[in-house]
């Protein structure tokens, strides 16, 4: 049997990585670098020891943003092609069967638990079994090394909050402009389909016209 940690470099998977190490549970931590995690996350990943980093290859693209630009599409709430093609499939391709795959969801995320679609891969959620909340995970990380990672999602993810879009504009203006560029391309091609939730324009979400930064 092989043992893997599906490592997303967020709070949950970092807490679980530390817990697996502390408790001597054998595993290989695997991170898919699709080039579009927040810069803070990409920097954090560089500090993680013994991490296996793999790259996706989706129709020749290893970068999710470049893929979206090419096809003039935005990540979709409904289809979630981005997660499937740029995260799950590369991991499934890498894992040697049979395997147990540890996933760092906390109890707040129990609705996301699911069986693997491959009979030889068995998902396990140790932190949910232990009843850990997100707060527990944060406190555990702090007790170990004090550095709590940035929330793990793409910088142009449609699922991010209004506050996160504002943070992107405030701290990474270049990426914010790239997100707007993709949004405009999608609007032109897909009859008004915006990047963010609720079919709202990024410039409205971030109150760009009012000059607001916070």
- By CB under 6 A, name the one of 30, 32, 138, 157 that touches ligand SF4: 157
Environment class of 188 (CB within 10 Å of its CB; exposed 0-12, middle 13-18, buried 19+): exposed
- By CB under 6 A, name the one of 159, 161, 163, 173 that touches ligand SF4: 159
Whose Cβ is closer to ligand SF4: residue 12's or residue 75's?
75
Whose Cβ is closer to ligand SF4: residue 120's or residue 181's?
181
What SS3 class is residue 72? coil
**CA 183 to CA 160: how far, in whole Å?**
15
Strand ranges of the sheet holding 99-103, from the earlier edge strand across to the other edge: 52-54, 28-32, 2-6, 99-103, 121-124
Piece of the chain touching ligand SF4 by CB under 6 A; list 9-17, 79-87, 101-109, 190-198: 79-87
- DSSP class per residue in 197-212: GGG--HHHHTTGGGT-
Beta bridge partners of 91: none
Q: Which residue, chain included where needed, has tokens 């109890």?
A: 107
Whose Cβ is closer to ligand SF4: residue 83's or residue 171's?
83
The reply on whether position 184 binds ligand SF4 by CB under 6 A is no
The reply on whether position 121 binds ligand SF4 by CB under 6 A is no
- By CB under 6 A, name the one of 42, 83, 108, 171 that touches ligand SF4: 83
DSSP assignment, residue 58?
B
The reply on whether position 92 binds ligand SF4 by CB under 6 A is no
The reply on whether position 154 binds ligand SF4 by CB under 6 A is yes
> Which residue ranges make up the site for ligand SF4 (CB under 6 A)?
75, 80, 82-83, 86-87, 153-154, 157, 159
């Amino acid at each position: 049997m092989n043992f893997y940690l599906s490592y997303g470099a967020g709070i949950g998977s970092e807490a679980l990585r530390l817990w697996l190490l502390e408790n001597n549970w054998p595993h290989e931590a695997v991170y898919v670098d699709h080039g579009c995690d927040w810069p803070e996350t990409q920097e954090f990943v560089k500090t993680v020891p013994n991490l296996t980093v793999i790259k996706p290859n989706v129709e020749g693209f290893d970068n999710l943003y470049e893929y979206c630009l090419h096809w003039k599409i935005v990540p979709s709430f409904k289809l979630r092609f981005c997660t499937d093609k740029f995260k799950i499939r590369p991991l499934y391709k890498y894992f040697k069967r049979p395997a147990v795959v540890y996933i760092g969801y906390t109890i707040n995320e129990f609705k996301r638990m699911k069986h693997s679609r491959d009979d030889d891969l068995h998902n396990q959620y140790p932190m949910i079994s232990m009843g850990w909340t997100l707060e527990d995970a944060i406190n555990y990380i702090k007790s170990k090394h004090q550095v709590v990672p940035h929330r793990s999602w793409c910088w142009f993810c449609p699922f991010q909050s209004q506050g996160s879009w504002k943070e992107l504009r405030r701290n990474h203006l270049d990426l914010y402009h790239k997100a707007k560029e993709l949004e405009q391309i999608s609007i032109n091609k897909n009859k008004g389909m915006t990047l963010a939730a609720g079919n709202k324009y990024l410039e409205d979400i971030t109150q760009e016209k009012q000059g607001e930064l916070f």
